[in-house]
């Protein structure tokens, strides 16, 4: 298709979604389910407009899914306003690291004993399917602020952290398959691939987000400089934190998530003798320039502007990636094992892996059930699949991982999309006020 043809297609698609947005919102479906079906219709199975063969276009798919993941991780970080030293962080940290490692181990066992995969391929499959999605779980994620619901906060924090935490296991799987030059040296994996990549990524992101946020607020509130272009501020923080972390061989995903967390925590520094503009509702009646340069409102205005743009960008990347997943489904080889493997991952292995994280957390039965069920698979799995294919995964093993990954992601989008609204309504109705 020519460039003009792609422009025509994109314009019709986006404007149609705008015009039908209200009607679609009334349906008992998530937006991702609509995009998935639309992607399948546009793919080789029907209209053949999109032909994203994951093996042929692995490098491009890796880049596109990586960009989408970075945008979504930054957006999730901006949403989580709970102080970093608050004990409420303990549950999402346990879900993101302990439960994810357990999930990788469980899938590895199933891959070796149930699917007949080599050990390296089974570990790689675990790394691909263990991360939960920070975008598609938006219907059950936390509200912004310092007092969110515990279930939504924990699921949001888990989704923001475990996409980066899965990287060492992906490298381990590739190393066991002989697809990485450094092999699987235990000291290298523990110290650099796991330890430094995780801790260094978080530290770099926190430093970049905090320093840049404080600098912008200082220049605005004290000198009336660095105004506007908040679009560039969000994109610049994503690019700087990711690029610096990757350059220093740390996790870029964790760095971007942490930079969003740090920007959320930049606080006001009122000048002596100054007064606020009024209550939040009154402050919003003033122009952007007045609020952005006022020492009582500069950081709040900065965060709100970045969140507004990043939220719209997040919707665009969700549309793009889920469309591609729908269009890629015809490339998934029909495997008999998919009929039992996919339900096993979503219904059995997810609750089993979440159990070690929830023990001792004093959760209600409803909270445990929600956390165990909403382990939504999505963009992170697509990225790690493309990453593996781009780094030499091929043959029967590649076909198996492509099929199982795409069907798991598609099934997760459908079943979690159908159950998100009714289960959340029921949960919120039963939650103590």
Residue 89 contacts residue 317 (beta carbons within 8 Å)? no
Residue that is written with structure tokens 């799995």 in the block: 381
For the chain (433 residues), the mean pLDDT of every run of 10, in chain order, is 80 82 75 92 91 95 95 91 89 95 97 96 97 72 66 90 93 88 69 88 96 90 80 92 96 96 85 64 61 77 85 88 95 93 97 93 90 91 96 94 97 91 81 60
Q: Name the token pair of 202.
A: 């978080």
Q: What is the pLDDT of residue 143?
A: 59
pLDDT attached to residue 282: 45
Other beta carbons less than 10 A from residue 73's beta carbon: 33
Instruction: Report the alpha-carbon distance of residue 116 to residue 112 in Å, rounded.
Output: 5
Give the C-alpha distances (Å, rounded to integers) separating 390 from 17, 59, 62: 33, 5, 8
d(CA 208, CA 157): 19
pLDDT of the residue at 145:
59
């Amino acid at each position: 298709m020519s460039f003009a043809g792609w422009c025509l297609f994109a314009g019709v698609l986006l404007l149609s979604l705008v015009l039908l947005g209200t009607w679609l919102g009334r349906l008992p479906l998530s937006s991702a389910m609509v995009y998935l079906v639309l992607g399948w219709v546009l793919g080789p199975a029907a209209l053949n407009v999109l032909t994203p063969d994951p093996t042929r276009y692995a490098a491009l798919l890796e880049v596109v899914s990586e960009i989408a993941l970075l945008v979504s991780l930054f957006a999730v970080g901006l949403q989580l306003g709970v102080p970093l030293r608050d004990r409420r962080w303990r549950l999402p940290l346990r879900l993101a690291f302990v439960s994810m490692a357990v999930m990788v181990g469980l899938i590895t066992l199933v891959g070796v004993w149930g699917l007949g995969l080599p050990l390296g391929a089974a570990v790689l499959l675990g790394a691909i399917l263990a991360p939960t999605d920070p975008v598609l779980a938006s219907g059950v994620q936390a509200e912004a602020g310092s007092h969110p619901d515990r279930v939504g906060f924990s699921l949001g924090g888990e989704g923001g952290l475990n996409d980066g935490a899965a990287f060492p296991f992906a490298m381990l799987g590739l190393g066991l398959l002989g697809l990485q030059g450094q092999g699987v040296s235990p000291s290298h994996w523990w110290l650099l691939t796991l330890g430094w990549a995780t801790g260094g990524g978080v530290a770099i992101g926190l430093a970049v987000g905090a320093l840049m946020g404080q600098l912008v607020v200082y220049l605005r509130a004290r000198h009336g400089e660095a105004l506007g272009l908040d679009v560039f501020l969000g994109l610049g923080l994503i690019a700087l934190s990711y690029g610096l972390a990757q350059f220093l061989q740390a996790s870029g995903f964790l760095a971007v998530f942490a930079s969003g967390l740090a920007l959320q925590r930049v606080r006001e520094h009122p000048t002596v003798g100054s007064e606020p503009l009024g209550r939040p509702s009154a402050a919003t009646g003033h122009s952007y320039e007045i609020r952005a340069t006022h020492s009582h409102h500069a950081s709040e205005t900065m965060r709100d502007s970045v969140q507004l743009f990043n939220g719209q960008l997040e919707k665009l990347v969700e549309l793009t990636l889920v469309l591609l997943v729908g269009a890629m489904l015809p490339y998934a080889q029909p495997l008999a094992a998919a009929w039992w493997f996919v339900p096993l991952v979503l219904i059995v292995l997810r609750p089993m892996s979440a159990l070690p994280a929830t023990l001792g957390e004093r959760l209600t039965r409803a909270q445990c059930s929600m956390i165990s069920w909403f382990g939504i698979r999505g963009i992170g799995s697509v990225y790690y699949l493309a990453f593996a294919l781009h780094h030499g995964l091929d043959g029967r093993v590649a076909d198996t991982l492509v099929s199982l990954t795409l069907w798991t992601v598609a099934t997760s989008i459908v079943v979690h999309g159908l159950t998100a609204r009714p289960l959340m309504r029921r949960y919120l109705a039963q939650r103590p006020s």
